[in-house]
A and B are shown apart, each in its own frame.
Chain A
């Protein structure tokens, strides 16, 4: 399908792209910047509204993108996550009014980039879209322009990201050398014929894995994450722990399971091992943290480890579990960060100590936080439990016993530090009587996410069906 015909199916993306420029232009004239936030959210809702029409032939734009049900899944996911992030950002104080409009339009561009990454059908296109996401992320991380930490984080992110991109590109060149193709659907066909280049292709795959591992904060490519997450403006951190990570997994699934599913038994154990390292490093390091954002940073690294279990399985159940996990994780993690923003707005710092006695000062907020943390810890009957259950099941189905056992033990360690926060909120008396002020927008986000977390835990069937239908097979 040529570009013009394909545009018909890219209406949502066209809306988002036009919307991004519109917001950028309006920013020059409009004073009250919150209007721009509202407009951006409306644009995303409008785009989501047009998301469901699928072409008969998924290969659009001369085959560079495939517009299949998996793309639609991640399209809705991305728009949802970006819309929530924008909503949270309106209540974040550290972004200067002068730059606020630009900030929202950057997020709209980012929404576009995420969808394109999920849709890419060509290694080169994957590289371009991942870079698109990365560059926008670097900008947003450094958005608190007068904050040294924010700038430092941005620079660190840029340096690490560049190395990762270079590795990924190198890997792609190896794959191209071995197979003579950059098309995801052509690679397995060539490989089946040219078995002589197996080793080269496998090496190339591992390099690509390194590049994507950077995006999903997989050990040993996670080192940037804590510093960047801590330095970035909190709404951006929220977004980074969810959006690019999820899309990293989408691409990982497309590349590993889609194109290289053929030698699943070669890369499967590698991913399983990396999953164990990732979750263990994340969990063990999280225990000692005293800053909320850092604790959540390590927690999100550990969560990436659990999600990798589904990738390591590489089966249909594995992919489904990854998709389910990503949604459950997005709901809970954005929820936790939103509450962290509310609390930090009041205490003016990021210490987990500021959660002291929250159950007395803001009972509703504390209860919501407990539910989110329980979901992150994987306790029933919440979304996180079903998610964890699914990845466990996926791993056990293909006899990855060590991985499942390691994950079980890790979950206990994780419960320990999640309960550190619960303990502060409920067991420790507060030193101040100050109540916590909670802006309406954030309350709305929290209630929405909480409802989702509980609903996905009690009634997981609809999302499971959705994840099943999203399979690219």
Chain B
């Protein structure tokens, strides 16, 4: 099994999806358990991957390669390294927790879990594919279930949010497809193999063209300001578990794309574009922060805070140095755990109160102290309290950013202050003050919900206190990438 471990990780959810499809109506209550089992098995396989993975090597490991379409030299080519491995672990974890958080969904369960597991296969495949054709297939496979998951199980404006998400991303990925094809025709022999493409040397002009095509595809997914407008809609309308996946994993597919494809293949163009990337990142950080501050909708606030926090990943990417890259990669992971937790908490409150209007709450701290504790914990992690993981990654990014450009880094610090402002303001409005009598009977957070949050908290504390545990997996690969791009790795 070890020889096909990555394939098992990718396709176990798919097997689960079809298992869900064939559950008879009489046994409908087992649907969610089958789905949970599928995500758990995938999680165990991912843990097994952790033991098989040699973190001292910076190279691609555990590869699987088979010829798929000989006429156009397309391979079924999977492999993992320090960039994709953390993302696979994150996906496995978030999927399990989101599946658990889905237990409160009663509507059309069979379809829901089928699409949910299909989505997991798509995400895993996206992170593990090393052939651009295969990557594109998985990238698009993510799109369709997401459309349905938002469109069927979402909030009041779900249809609009779903199609907006779908068309936005589709437009980006089609442009990316043109870039992929251009790359293919510029190599001799023609290839979609990422490792070979990274070795090839293209003219700067051509690199710029390819980089822009990739940039549009990835920037929409991240989302980079000004391509972020689909995000608040999709996040707000999506059901809680899907918001968690959106924020926890899907956004990372964009920044992962930069690390995996755009940077190694078009290194000169990446250096050429770095200033613009940094500027867009800083705009996103500050803009996202200010807009989050202005929100009264709890979920929308968290959504805009994502725009702001993902800006740090981009800033780290633009810095093109070791601290920047390390910071960006850890921020990708940590943002997944922290914001995933925040969305779960928004969902907990919404399930009980059926509103997300922060001004309608007040004084909940006294009524639901346990919930309040969790919320304060995740807010602190999000605003970058030292000793929690959010601090580490943002600090690393700022460190890298400072080496790159002091002015922009200074401006981006405003984003951190803003994060403190909107999160504390949220805590004041929701948890503190006199108890709004309307919520006098609000139920406390239940065990299932606590189970979904505790693993995230453990990771946040663990990587906050000992970031080396996480960095050890990433650094060799990131250093290799940096070296191949002509940068200095210390």
Contacts and interface: CB of A to CB of B under 8 A. Distances in A.
B144 A408 contact: no
B178 interface: yes
Contacts of B158: 427
Interface string A75-93: 0000000000000000000
A197 to B, nearest CB: 36
B439 interface: no
A377 to B, nearest CB: 8
B473 interface: no
Nearest to B21: A367
A416 to B, nearest CB: 6
Interface in A331-374: 359, 374
Interface in B63-96: 68-72
Interface in A449-473: 460-461, 464-465, 468
B174 interface: yes
B132 to A, nearest CB: 11
A393 B185 CA distance: 8
Contact of A423 (B71, B72, B137, B159): B159
Size category of the binding interface on chain B = 20 to 34
A144 B143 CA distance: 42
Contacts of B72: 393, 464
Interface string B93-108: 0000000000000000
Contact of B174 (A359, A411, A461): A411
B162 A392 contact: no
A38 to B, nearest CB: 34
A401 to B, nearest CB: 8
B167 interface: yes
B177 A461 contact: no
Contacts of A389: 177, 181
B148 A426 contact: yes
B171 A412 contact: yes
Contacts of A422: 147
A381 B178 CA distance: 17
Contacts, number: 74
A405 B159 contact: no
A379 B143 contact: yes
A426 B141 contact: no
Interface in B159-211: 159, 162-163, 166-167, 170-171, 174-175, 177-178, 181-182, 184-185
A404 B136 contact: no
Nearest to A413: B167
A405 B212 CA distance: 13
Size category of the binding interface on chain A = 20 to 34
A419 interface: yes
Interface string A219-256: 00000000000000000000000000000000000000
Contacts of A460: 69
B349 interface: no
Nearest to B137: A380
A419 B158 CA distance: 14
Interface string A107-122: 0000000000000000
A397 B186 CA distance: 9
A461 B70 contact: yes
Given A393-B181, A427-B151, A415 B140 contact: no
A379 B159 CA distance: 20
Interface string B117-152: 000000000000000000011001101100110011
Contacts of B151: 423, 426-427
A461 B182 CA distance: 21
Contact of A374 (B70, B144, B175): B144
A363 to B, nearest CB: 8
B71 A465 contact: yes
A392 B170 CA distance: 16
A230 to B, nearest CB: 26
Contacts of B170: 411-412, 415
B115 to A, nearest CB: 10
B179 to A, nearest CB: 10
B188 to A, nearest CB: 13
A392 B177 contact: yes
A409 interface: yes
Nearest to B110: A363
Contacts of A415: 166-167, 170
Contacts of B175: 405, 408
Nearest to B139: A380
A381 B137 contact: yes
B178 A404 contact: yes
B178 A392 contact: yes
A382 to B, nearest CB: 10
A284 interface: no
Contacts of A468: 71
A359 B185 CA distance: 42
A282 to B, nearest CB: 17
Contacts of B162: 427
Nearest to B168: A412
A396 interface: yes
A419 B164 CA distance: 11
Given A404-B178, A419-B166, 13 more contacts: A359-B111, A379-B143, A380-B140, A381-B137, A381-B141, A396-B182, A404-B181, A408-B171, A408-B177, A412-B171, A415-B170, A416-B167, A427-B159
12 contacts: A359-B111, A379-B140, A380-B137, A381-B141, A393-B185, A404-B181, A405-B175, A412-B171, A415-B167, A426-B151, A464-B69, A464-B72
